[in-house]
Amino acid sequence: MFSDKCRQSYINELNGIKQQGIFKQERFIHAPQGAEIEVEFPAGASTKKVINMCANNYLGLSSHPEVVKAAHEGLDVRGYGMSSVRFICGTQDIHRQLENKLTEFLGTEDTLLFPSCMDANAGVFEAVLTDQDVMIADRLVHASIVDGMRLCKAAQDTYKHSDMEHLEAKLQEHQDKRNRMIITDGVFSMDGDLAKLDKIVELAEKYDAMVFVDESHASGFIGKTGRGTHEHCGVLGHIDIITTTLGKALGGASGGCVSGRRELVELCRQRARPYLFSNTVAPVIVYGALKVMDLISKTTERRDKLEQNTIYWRKLLKDAGFDIKEGESPIVPVMLYNAKLAQDIATDLYAEGIYAIGFFFPVVPKGQARIRTQLSAAHEKHHLDKAIEAFTKVGKKYNVLGKGKKEIIEMYGM
């Protein structure tokens, strides 16, 4: 029973979160996902039209007419739900078709769909590693990977973010284990930087280790034909396990997968608990995703446009005098260092019609607060021109233009 005392303890806990200034509130969007959206915030306020700079809608396919049309068709020919997990009676022909498409696109041997990439990451390590193995992860991997590693009995270790010397030292230290697995994100979601997969594969060969890459923020647009970070780094076919999501560039609905060496994927089919004990993606989504795979296999138009937008936006921010994290991905963090400053600027940007979010500890390290902007192929030049106008106006107000880390911290503290 939920006694008054019990309730009070939870109220106190929630108040603690509020006092720390990290209480999260949802914003209701009254429109399909896109470059321009209608947002109700705070709850009950009248809606406001804003330019969206914080979606993972990298290829602008979330509301693409052809994808929506395909989803309708899926609903008509394969129904709404499966009412079963995959291995009982929850697998349709189209699920396997989508897996084959993903295998081909990612350049792997086989693929298994999961309800989400969070689920793929939660299940994969436990399915393929034992207590005789070791997992060696980059310290900035996504939270879902950290959770998956916690569920696995293999020994754990970490290396400093993208520090290849440190990784090499760890690989040497763990030569006594049966199998080693290097674990990294392809594109890191908070900094937007790319893993050095060419170097990682080289080390993996030297020290007999498998390579795991989470390509959630890369699949569909990183690399010349959008296959991902492994394509960009010239190591297609050398990654042993790729996990990725259908919930970002690839249509943005939901679903994830484990793709890679045949035997590892098969072990996931036998053992991965989120695959075994949860329904997979609905037929509607499979149909939509098949259309997405079709669209991005035919032409690189959308990823090329995203690349152009990225180059343009990075230049606009730099020319305006913002301190950004350099890189090539469509994730562009504007560094502000101070948590309150990041929040205040995000609030002012919203008032100017720009929707971007401030991130701070514990999501990013202490003293690394920022506003993360994300580009989309759905953005047109006029969106970005309007956005930079707002950024410049707000940047002036807070006197951060032309200022670096040291100066901003001097003004606002860490």
Ligand X SMILES: Cc1ncc(COP(=O)(O)O)c(C=O)c1O
Which residues, including other chains, have CB under 8 Å from residue 242's CB and lie 6 or more apart? 106, 108, 212, 213, 214, 215, 228, 230, 258, 259, 260
Q: Give strand pairing partners of 28.
A: 40
Is residue 142 close enough to count as binding ligand X by CB under 6 A? Answer: yes
Size of the site for another protein (CB under 8 A): 15
Is residue 245 close enough to count as binding ligand X by CB under 6 A? Answer: yes
Q: Residue 245: which of ligand X, another protein, none does it interact with, CB under 5 to 8 A by kind?
A: ligand X
Count other C-beta atoms under 10 Å from residue 383's C-beta. Answer: 20
Nearer to another protein, 34 or 192 (CB): 192
Supply 357's token pair. 């979010």
Catalytic residue, from 177, 248, 383, 403: name it. Answer: 248
Is residue 62 close enough to count as binding ligand X by CB under 6 A? Answer: no
Is residue 144 close enough to count as binding ligand X by CB under 6 A? Answer: yes
Task: By CB under 8 A, name the one of 41, 207, 361, 398 that touches another protein.
Answer: 361
Catalytic residue, from 174, 177, 217, 230: name it. Answer: 217
For residues 235 and 256, give the distance between their C-alpha atoms in angstroms, rounded to a whole number. 22
Nearer to another protein, 30 or 139 (CB): 139
Nearer to another protein, 110 or 138 (CB): 138
- The answer to whether residue 166 is catalytic is no
For residues 325 and 311, give the distance between their C-alpha atoms in angstroms, rounded to a whole number. 13
Provide the residue type at 40 as one letter. E
Report whether 383 contacts 313 (CB < 8 A).
no
Provide the residue type at 281 as one letter. V
Task: By CB under 8 A, name the one of 158, 309, 338, 343 that touches another protein.
Answer: 158
Size of the site for ligand X (CB under 6 A): 14
Report whether 257 contacts 222 (CB < 8 A).
no
- The answer to whether residue 405 is catalytic is no
Supply 362's token pair. 């514990």
- The answer to whether residue 248 is catalytic is yes
Considering only residues 119-138, where is the footprint of another protein by CB under 8 A?
137
List residues binding ligand X (CB under 6 A).
116-118, 121, 142, 144, 185, 189, 214, 216-217, 245, 247, 256
